[in-house]
Amino acid sequence: MSTTLLRDPSALEAYARDVSGLRGVPEAVARPESLDEVVEIMRHAASDHACVTAAGAQTSTTGASVAMQGWLLSTRAMARIIDIDAATRTARVEPGVLIGDLQRACAPFGLFFAPDPTSEEESSVGGAIACNASGPRTLRYGATRSHVRALTAVLADGSRYDARRPLVEKNTVGYQLAHDPVDWFVGSEGTIGIVAEAELALLPVPAQVLGLGVPFADEARALAFIVAARETPAVAPRCLEYFDVESFGIVRAEMGDASWAPTAGAMVYLEEAGDGEPPLDAWLALAESFGANAGDVRVFDGEQALREARRLRHACPAAMHERTAPYLAQGGRRMSTDWAVPPRLAAHALIEARTICAAHGVPAPVVYGHLGNGHPHMNFVARNADEVRTIERALAEVLRMIIAMGGTVAAEHGIGKIKAKWLSLQANGRQLALMRALKHEFDPEGRLAPGNIL
Ligand SMILES: Cc1cc2nc3c(=O)[nH]c(=O)nc-3n(C[C@H](O)[C@H](O)[C@H](O)COP(=O)(O)OP(=O)(O)OC[C@H]3O[C@@H](n4cnc5c(N)ncnc54)[C@H](O)[C@@H]3O)c2cc1C
């Protein structure tokens, strides 16, 4: 085999963790530089009966890109943007391309890739496809799934599998779940094949984008504003991001501006995008009807200001990682929920979730996230293994309540290894059987990303 397998302990250690804090040292690391090399590695793995876990940039929060057994296949050396076709608004890319790099490459064409995980500067397209990643703008444009037109995967036996979304607008042939193989791979977390190339849909950059930071007296008013913003015809938000009192504090600290609405109990960051002038007056009137003070509203206007808003949003998870770092050595870790409920139920769900956590003696979480989609992240700093267990007990109860409300246990980070135990809370026997059947069809020996999802 021309592609070398790294076995040096320091090289293996470099790939032993993702952001979840889970550690698993792979037996070997492969760093293919092309689709042909992925094929070669997967054939080699098949002949050795070796397990293979794909890894992009390893920003997974669920241990999904940690290899607990067998080899790790890193796509970091496959970071070529093969082609951007402005006429068809399509980009063809290798899986290791960072989303931020793709955005910069698309900008001169007046195009952008809609999925925008907060981690876009450090996470890969392959990881986004494998996790069906989403972000603030998902409110308007949907998650990664709807922006993948075609992909080439390499399967467990080393064969190449090309999948393209059907172009027909109607189809009555058989079960819907077999209509579109692209959908099998999006969100499959490396368990049925290695995505080695992808064709992505791009959108035209809107002529006008307005960002507003709107402080509110408390969480109840901020969340009621978010629901109203989804339902008021005069406005059309493309993102509605929530910050509780603590995370708004993180934002202020990052800005170096303690004077921004210092007594506010919550803040909502929103964007509206389109070709005409954004309706600033309508937004201010709506905010004021929920008690916001127009004088406290910060306007983020223009490319640079919008980039700054993204940086401030990213400061929240980054700060939580920093707060957790001192406890990693003693078995602690950052714990972040990824549940979502129907947006109108989010305020109630958050109150109930906080009550359950307090009843378990868990310190109050820091809450921020995509409340426009009914999707907050509750963040906990577990200082040791005992605290991890206590928080997990509380979260098991929270997640049962979320499912009873018609919610999901994982809205964007996937299930990976750490959250695999929650899968059976949500999926019934038939759904689990169908997932196992799909896995078995592509990976009968169970060698791909063992421990992920199932
Ligand atoms: C600070 C921070 C903020 C975040 N914000 C968001 C957010 O807003 N939205 C969101 O959705 N997520 C978010 N995440 C989670 C994470 O960044 C995403 O899940 C991201 O898509 C993972 O990409 P990655 O390249 O790091 O993948 P990795 O972590 O390397 O892998 C993730 C999964 O994808 C599989 N995989 C990777 N590449 C391939 C491939 N080529 N073929 C097959 N399988 C593959 C892996 O096996 C694994 O199962 C955040 C994480 C951090 C640390």
Q: Quick check: 363 pLDDT over 80? A: yes
Q: Which two tokens stand for residue 215?
A: 């402080």
* Residue 152 in contact with ligand 1 by CB distance below 6 A: no
Mean per-residue pLDDT for 40-59? Answer: 98
Give me the domain span that covers residue 119: 81-204
Task: Give the DSSP H/E element, type plus range, for residue 397.
Answer: helix 385-404
How far apart are the C-alpha atoms of 422 and 400, rounded to whole Å?
9
Q: Among residues 151, 185, 204, which one ends one of the domains?
A: 204
Q: Would the pLDDT of 120 be above 90?
A: yes
Q: Band of the pLDDT at 21, cuts 50, 70, 90?
A: confident
Tell me how far CA of residue 284 lies from CA of 40, 296, 299, 312, in angstroms.
58, 11, 11, 22
Closest ligand 1 atom to Cα of 193? 43
Tell me the β-bridge partners of 152.
Answer: 162, 197
CA of 221 to the centre of ligand 1 (A): 33
The string of pLDDT tens digits covering residues 388-437 is 999 999 999 999 999 999 999 999 999 999 999 999 999 999 999 999 99
Ligand 1 neighbourhood includes 197 CB (under 6 angstroms): no
Nearest CA to ligand 1 atom 3: 119
Atom of ligand 1 nearest to the CA of 189: 49
**Residue 88 and residue 43 share a domain:** no
H-run or E-run covering 129 = helix 125-131
Q: Are residues 85 and 191 both part of a single domain? A: yes
What's the CATH number where 19 sits?
Answer: 3.30.43.10
Say what the pLDDT of residue 404 is: 96
Strand-pairing partners, residue 241, are 269
Q: Are residues 120 and 151 in the same domain?
A: yes
**Residue 425, domain member (yes or no):** no
Average pLDDT over residues 343-357: 98
Residue nearest to atom 11 of ligand 1 (CA): 133
By alpha-carbon position, which residue is closest to atom 13 of ligand 1?
117
> What are the pLDDT digits (tens) for 266-321?
999 999 999 999 999 999 999 999 999 999 999 999 999 999 999 999 999 999 99
Whole-number Å distance between alpha carbons of 125 and 24: 23
Count Cβ atoms below 10 Å from residue 374 Cβ, excluding itself: 27
123 lines ligand 1 (CB under 6 A): yes
Q: What separation in angstroms does the CA of 306 have from each of 110, 121, 266, 389?
A: 16, 15, 20, 39
- Please check whether residue 115 is in contact with residue 133, taking contact to mean a CB–CB distance below 8 angstroms: yes
Rounded distance from Cα 186 to ligand 1 centre (Å): 12
Q: For residue 4, what pLDDT is reported?
A: 87
Tell me, rounded to whole angstroms, the distance of Cα 241 from its chain centroid.
14
Final residue of a structural domain among 34, 61, 76: 76
Residue 415 lies in a domain: no
| pLDDT for the residue numbered 277 | 92
Q: Ligand 1 pocket check: which of 61, 99, 113, 131 to mutate, most ligand atoms within 8 Å of Cβ?
A: 131
Query: Residue 230 sits in a domain of what CATH number?
Result: 3.30.70
**What are the angstrom distances between the C-alpha of 374 and each of 52, 215, 316?**
35, 19, 18
87 with 198, same domain: the answer is yes
* CA nearest neighbour of 96 among 66, 64, 128, 67: 128
Beta bridge partners of 448: 52
Determine whether the shortest distance from the Cβ of 117 to ligand 1 is under 6 A. yes
Task: Count how many residues are written for the chain.
Answer: 454
Buried b (16+ CB within 10 A) or exposed e, 227-261: bebbebeebebbbbbbbbbbbbbbbbebbeeeeeb
Q: Is 151 left (phi over 0), alpha (psi -120 to 50) or beta?
A: beta
Question: What pLDDT does 1 receive?
Answer: 62
Q: Both 101 and 187 in a single domain?
A: yes
H or E, element range at 99: helix 99-106
In a domain, residue 378? The reply is no
Question: Rounded to the nearest whole angstrom, what is the distance from the C-alpha of residue 283 to the centroid of ligand 1?
Answer: 34
Measure the CA–CA gap between 250 and 121, rounded to whole angstroms.
20
Q: Is 290:216 a contact under the CB 8 Å cutoff? A: yes
Tell me if 25 sits within 8 A of 68, measured CB to CB.
no
CA distances in angstroms from 11 to 7, 48, 55, 68, 240, listed in the order given: 7, 21, 14, 16, 41
Are the beta carbons of 247 and 368 closer than 8 angstroms? Answer: yes
Q: Using CA positions, which residue lies closest to atom 18 of ligand 1?
A: 60
Structural domain tally of the chain?
Answer: 3
Task: Name the residue of 58, 119, 412 to mutate for ligand 1: max ligand atoms within 8 A of Cβ.
Answer: 119
Region 93-106 average pLDDT: 98
C-alpha dihedral (334, 335, 340, 346), degrees to nearest 10: -90
Choosing from 23, 50, 76, the residue where a domain stops is: 76
Torsion-angle region of 394 (φ positive above 0: left; ψ -120 to 50: alpha; else: beta): alpha
Query: 56 C-alpha vs ligand 1 centroid, how far in Å?
Result: 7
CATH of the domain at 156: 3.30.465.10
